[in-house]
Amino acid sequence: MGLLRTMMPAKFQLVAVLVFALAMLFIENQIQKLEESRARLERTIARHEVAEVEQRHSKDAGRELSPPAENEDAVIIYNRVPKTASTSFTNIAYDLCGKNRFHVLHINTTKNNPVMSLQDQVRFVRNVTSWRAMKPGFYHGHVAYLDFSKYGAKGKPMYINVVRDPVERLVSYYYFLRFGDNYRPSLRRRKQGDKKTFDECVSSGGSDCAPEKLWLQIPFFCGHHSECWTAGSRWALEQAKYNLLKEYLLVGVTEELEDFIMILEAALPRFFKGATELYRTGKKSHLRKTTDKKPPTKETMAKLQQSDIWKIENEFYEFALEQFQFVRAHAVQEKDGELYVLAQSFFYEKIYPKVN
């Protein structure tokens, strides 16, 4: 063989190598196609087995299978943080509730106080869990997180929320109190008439732009413990992180609101079917915009970022952003500049006992 190789001209050697490489590529391609065909066949068999089991159970019950009870008993609580695009998102729920057959209820607390009295906490938990006429239900309001298991409730709602860069949220709120927005432009705001800019407020040490005003997103996730509302508390930060991971189905960010809506629609179509298209094309999606909002200067940002309160609030925001981006990376994919929800990537097989 070695003698043959030495006698074979270099040109023929090159052609032989190319033919061999092409043959290997062809074989690998055929193997891959066979593997894909096998996987499709397995999924088809598995779906057939599941369908047979469901059909048998349906016959045993003497009627068609009804939708899972949890779909009709589901409750979502959106304890919305002020100035995080919460009105824009809530408007989508109001637009969808008739079509998707669920109820939307606004939790209106006195003076927008996010902390409920103990007796109101008990009443609220009792209402949400036992008010069957309002299920499935979507509750929204500026209320701090409540742990339903603490009150002996049998079922727990699904929490969702949206967070925002803490300085951007405060700047938006500062100008909102003075100039309102285009949602209700004729409504007189609490600080109307005050023309001082946010930069001027920070420069003069004003109370409306003090670092303590940044302390809001952490306590909303932390809950109704006294330490949650102590500005700069690291215990509150850790509790807020824990609740975000353990108690919230999904927490999005204002800067990526469309992705948040897309994932919710994929995960909870019972509520949010059609939400993404509505957000992209609906009239209310981008309705609420704060009037006369001016971005802060670099000097203002630098001054705020020296505060320990900003550092802790920003740490929570970065934590929430990281978690959301992780969820998004496993839920959607980008193609030609557009995001698409990933199809189901699991199926059932080897189902026993076999159907006769």
Instruction: Give the C-alpha distances (Å, rounded to integers) separating 268 from 31, 249, 272, 320, 337.
Output: 38, 10, 6, 20, 25
DSSP 192: T
- Asked whether the CA dihedral 306, 312, 314, 319 is positive or negative, the reply is positive
Q: Is 223 helix (H, G, I), strand (E, B) or coil?
A: coil
* Residue pair 309/232 in contact by the 8 Å Cβ criterion: yes
Q: Active site includes 330?
A: no
Q: Active site includes 142?
A: yes
* Residue pair 355/53 in contact by the 8 Å Cβ criterion: yes
Which residue is listed with tokens 């690998």?
28
Question: What distance in Å separates the CA atoms of residue 254 and residue 83, rounded to the nearest whole number?
Answer: 9
Question: What distance in Å separates the CA atoms of residue 236 and residue 227, rounded to the nearest whole number?
Answer: 6
* Residue pair 254/164 in contact by the 8 Å Cβ criterion: yes
- Residue tagged active-site, from 106, 140, 224, 330: 140
- Residue tagged active-site, from 57, 103, 106, 142: 142
Enumerate the active-site residues: 140, 142
